[in-house]
Amino acid sequence: MSVVLSHGTLSALSDDLGAAAVCSFVRRYLDLLDGRVRDLTAALAGRDVEAAQVVALSLHSASAMIGAEALADVARALATQLRTGAVTAARLALCDVPSLARATAQALAAFLAPPAPVALSARA
């Protein structure tokens, strides 16, 4: 299975766009993540294959861009399954999405967190 978050992808994106832009993009991604998971779940529950495919593709592309590899892989598999009519397989794959979304959100929150202050030695 892929890593939850590729720091190399975030680093390369930061080199290309700058740290401020990447942090802004990550915050926006996090703002939309729960809604995307909800929309995907609702679309599959309602048997709206087209809507589910659109959300899965959106989740895949945004996740891949920031290095959320595991979530991007599952979203891509879901989109492929939906495109080929394998709705039952897509529903099974959906079971992994909420936990991967939580793990991704935690990893990205840690990425955004300021570094911890370095403790000074009392023996100085």
Q: How many other CB atoms are found less than 10 A from the CB of residue 120?
A: 7
Q: Would you say 57 and 79 are in contact if contact means Cβ atoms under 8 Å apart? A: yes
Q: Where are the domains of the chain?
A: 7-111
pLDDT, tens digit, for every residue of 61-83? Answer: 999 999 999 999 999 999 999 99
In the numeric block, the tokens 């899965």 are attached to: 56
pLDDT, tens digit, for every residue of 101-114? Answer: 999 999 999 999 97
Evaluate if residue 120 carries a pLDDT over 70.
no
CATH 1.10.10.10 fits 7-111, yes or no: no
Round to whole Å and give the CA distance between 59 and 92: 17
Please compute the mean of the pLDDT values over residues 45-52 and round it to a whole number: 95
